[in-house]
Amino acid sequence: MEAYIVGGYRSAIGKAPRGKFRFTRPDDIAVAVVRHLMNDFPQIEKSRIDDIVVGNAFPEAESGLNMGRMISIMSMDSIEVPGSTINRYCASGLESIAIATAKIRAGMADMIIAGGAETMSMIAMGGWRSIPNPTVAKTHPDWWHGMGLTAEAVVREYDITREEQDAFSLKSHEKALKAQAEGKFDSQIVPIEVTEDYFADGKQQTRKYTVDKDEGPRKSNIEGLARLKGVFKQGGSVTAGNSSQMSDGAAFVLVVSEKIVKEYNLTPIARLVDYQVAGVEPYKMGVGPIAAIPKVLKHAGMTIKDIEQFELNEAFASQSLAVLKELNMNPDIVNVNGGAIAMGHPLGATGAKLTVQLLNEMKLRKQKYGMVTMCIGTGQGGAGIFELL
């Protein structure tokens, strides 16, 4: 039994911690996206949804208490649809799509809403109470290196220059700004109205505004980027300008079986051909795709030349450049509308967000095969191949 993606949307991506979603809970962002997605299918009884699988990198505080279940209750207006929260850090949103696909192919479900949601405004990077295993930490402290230090490790081991990183960053912003100006993202973004309370003139005020545009892309220049100092290591070359932005957002797709396609006369958009994860040294987690991409291609019986477009999450310019160089990838088909350095990286939502972006762009370009891939904290890589139908 095959599983098909029949629809997908994302929120705009807000800048954390001072962007337009800074006071908006991740479950509220997710609910808006899920409701908009289901509005495309009024003929489907919501009680028929077998599960909602939500990826999240830090499932605590506002993202805690099984956020996936809360999103199901809030968005479905029913207690009948269950929900779960899963965590593979930066690949969580893609992992949720893989779980949905696998369960449907196995005959365990017919309809699953899969995606992810993240707030980096409300929850600190690393969470509020991170407690590494003390025994392991004594022998392998590098397993808990901060992301910035892992990016510096990649700089050192793969001979990535500061100039290369800044040039890559500038290109990401330029592509994203061009895509925004052309309206590339308009149809995939769900406008979300935000109500914000604040104090002014000695009293509480309320304002409302609609968030329907990614906040990250900005005009820059190579001179400005070159003036930024390394922020993770003394004398380092990884800066705020060539790193991905902390972000808030959500993205979801509806995955269904062949039976549901026929029953409701739905039009399949795409299918997940294959998905694989791989492990690498945690201290240089950014090179995860170098292991994951060949693995998924081999498992699917394909080669890298079969992939017409890639969405590679730009956790840092250094790791993106290492992946491109090591796998000899064509940069012209990677992140054609900009990446996370410009667009932002809402952690657990990113895999689903990139899937939505990829499928929309593949349709415009009349392509058949595309890939979403990313590095993952603590030394992993993930890669998923999609076929546009």
70 near 31, Cβ under 8 Å? no
- For the question of residue 90 being annotated catalytic, the response is yes
Burial of 303 (0-12, 13-18, 19+ CB in 10 A): exposed
Q: Report strand pairing: 3-11 vs 189-190.
A: parallel
Angle, CA 8 vertex, CA 376 and CA 377 arms, to 5°: 5
Question: Can you tell me the distance from the alpha carbon of 142 to that of 245, in angstroms, rounded to the nearest whole number?
Answer: 23
Which string of b and e fits 122-136 if b means at least 16 CB within 10 Å?
A: bbeeeeeeeeeeeee
Q: Which two tokens stand for residue 136?
A: 């392991």
Which of 36, 90, 145, 173 is an active site residue? 90
Separation in Å, CA 149 to CA 17, 28, 237:
21, 33, 11
Q: Which two tokens stand for residue 185?
A: 């993202």
Half-sphere exposure of 44 (CA within 13 A, CB side): 29
Q: Which residue from 86, 145, 26 is spatially nearest to 277, judged by alpha carbons?
A: 86
Three-state secondary structure call for residue 317:
helix
Q: What Rg value do the Cα atoms of the chain yield, rounded?
A: 20
90 near 150, Cβ under 8 Å? no
Which of 36, 145, 173, 345 is an active site residue? 345
- For the question of residue 345 being annotated catalytic, the response is yes
Q: Report strand pairing: 51-55 vs 83-86.
A: parallel
Give the chain's count of helices (H) and strands (E): 12, 13
Residues 6+ apart with CB under 8 A from 194: 20, 21, 23, 24, 208, 209, 210, 211
Active site residues: 90, 345, 375
